[in-house]
Amino acid sequence: MRIERVTSRYGLLVAACVALALVELQWANALTWDEIEFFRATRWVAEGRVPYRDYWEHHTPLQWLLFAPFAKVLGGGAGVQAVLAMRWSQLLVWVATFVLLGRLTRRVTTDAVWPLAIALSLLLSTPSFVRTAVQYRVDAVGNLLLIGALTLILARRWIAFGAVMSLAVLTNMRLAPLAILVAAGVVFDRREWLARTWKIAAGVAGVAAAFLATLFATGTWPAFVECILVYNRDANRLSGANAPPNMLLPILATPFHEGELSGIALWAIAMGGLWIALREFRRRGVLQVLALVWIAAMIVVALPGVQYDYHLQSVWLLMVPLAAVALERIAPRIPRAALIASAIVVVALVLGVVRMGTGSLGAELAYQDRIMTEADRRVPPDGRVWDGTGYALRREPAYRYWFLPSGVRLMAEAGVIERYDIRRRPPDLIVHNYRTHNWMIAFQDVGRFATSHYVPLYRNLWIPGFSTSVPTTGLHWSWTVVKSGQYDIWVSPMLAKHPWFSRPLRYALIEGPDAPLMQIPLDRLPRDVEGRVQWLVDGVAVPAGARTLVLREGSQLEMRAGPGAAVGVLVVPTGTRTLCMAPPEKFTF
């Protein structure tokens, strides 16, 4: 009866938290760069490609192998729904993770039901955690295996522990230092250290042998060394030297400066549980093991030169049993502790609903979907896209390094890897975002070619076309045609005032309410072509007054403009009616 009463009291609270998290999953949380990367790596496995050998990656592959069947069945589309389907598939991982957390909590509490329910409610109503937990990431499976390994420690199953921790590392390399620290703590036993060491080593060796055998059998070993060992070594060295300082403290402080009541409460209560565990350290029981693992997880997060919010996922999860212990211990002294914590959750949920209601729910996802589906529509199946993230889900990348983390750019700048030669391998389309922007800043020849041989259909989707501004003194300009087709000519004084023609890369960063003001409705432009501009294709003059051109890939298009008023010049695919479309919201694409 007691369990039924507690379930009825707190079950709705947990259910409400889950419901809000599912809204975050489907509508309120735009796709992140990492999600798109992991999705494409997963779907390529589903298509029969071998990681590292058949495509470049710098993460370990277990998540892609596990979810490839889901991607094959659910992830065939070109838009955001393909990736959202993987988020829903990943819920199975989270259910298993919370079941294991419940088992751990029962080992450290006398009455595990209501403290666990409140601790989980606090966690699931904390935006800092939920925001990354609902995303399709390698962290989810990695943390499931981590929590599973902790349950194996308590069951004293050392071979299985070694195997499961190895699998966690094969899912998420950032767990490797934590696996080493936890294993070192486990074998620190004066009577059993040798037996535990050999058993854990046997579990590790079994997984490592199977993985290495697969690499050698598929001829992937050299590519694995280059992608995982060499790239990550050099990229971490270069990125660490260029990383902004003090990234950890702002991330830890996120619940506080964003006013996340549940997150603040969970931190405070869990720190109480940590203090209880350390105060009773001589008992060296399950609670102390969890406390030490939590400390180790915090150390591992702090070790690298760069930290992001999703790096704290293990830390958040391990706070649940610690918070449950603290809640159970303080309940006799503060009879209304459970009620106070529940009220905090309710307020956090209300604030979450208000936040979603006052924002543009789903607008960012809708814009991403528009870019992704338009890229798929405009690029033929055998076409190629240059993209800093991988938004063109069903099209091949134009550059071997098909997404552009900072490590790729820094290594290309240092000459460690081959740069992208956009002139020799021009893409059928460019998806512009922060990563391609930084690339064009770093490699100005790429930026000049891209902004003169492509035009922004959307702010973040550049199609083949030509643009330049003609000063009053005239201009002689030439382009190499990157894609065959029929093109319309637009020459107008109004275009000369648009920022694309003077500062194209500055324009590409305009977000918020000013972005739609930059839209160019071509049909409304006053045109000025008579007697001002002469066109030549491969040296042959185009008849005066022509407003369309039929161009072949590789041809040379020349423009000679005499003196007169300043004008902007556009040559765009026939049928294009509007350029520079963008939403009024401030999105980080």
Q: DSSP secondary-structure letter at 32?
A: P
Tokens 């704290």, located at residue: 312
Can you give the pLDDT at residue 189? 74
**Of 70, 64, 65, 129, nearest to 98 (Cα)?**
129
pLDDT of residue 239: 78
- Please give the C-alpha separations between residue 151 and each of 100, 156, 286, 389, in angstroms, as whole numbers: 7, 9, 10, 37
> Tokens 């620190």 belong to which residue?
188
Q: What is the pLDDT of residue 241?
A: 60
Pairing of strands 384-387, 396-397: parallel
Q: Please, is 536 exposed, middle or buried when counting C-beta atoms within 10 Å of its C-beta (0-12, 13-18, 19+)?
A: middle
Assigned token pair, 206: 């079994």
Distances in Å between the Cα of 539 and the Cα atoms of 479, 484, 485, 489 are: 12, 17, 18, 18
Q: How far apart are CA 406 and CA 389, in angstroms?
A: 12
What sign for the dihedral angle of Cα 394, 169, 92, 270? negative
- Looking at the DSSP bridge assignments, the partners of residue 541 are 536
For the chain (589 residues), the mean pLDDT of every run of 10, in chain order, is 56 94 95 97 98 98 98 97 98 97 93 88 97 97 97 94 97 95 86 91 97 98 96 87 72 94 97 96 89 95 86 97 95 86 95 88 94 98 97 98 96 96 97 97 97 98 96 92 96 93 95 95 78 90 91 96 90 97 90
pLDDT for 40 equals 98
Contact predicate 512/582, CB 8 Å: no
pLDDT for the residue numbered 581? 97
* Cα distance between residue 396 and residue 186, in whole Å: 46
In 10 A of CB 334, how many CB atoms? 11
User: Three-state DSSP class for 457?
Assistant: strand
Question: Tokens standing for 107?
Answer: 């080992």
* CA separation for the pair 510, 138 (Å, rounded): 32
Find the angle CA(491)-CA(496)-CA(498) to the nearest 5 degrees: 115
If one counts every other C-beta atom within 10 angstroms of the C-beta of residue 228, the result is 18
Q: Which helix (H) or strand (E) covers residue 353, if one does?
A: helix 337-358
User: Taking the model in full, what pTM does it have?
Assistant: 0.95
The pLDDT of residue 1 is 35
Nearest to 351 by CA among 270, 267, 263: 263
Burial of 45 (0-12, 13-18, 19+ CB in 10 A): buried
pLDDT of 3 reads 47
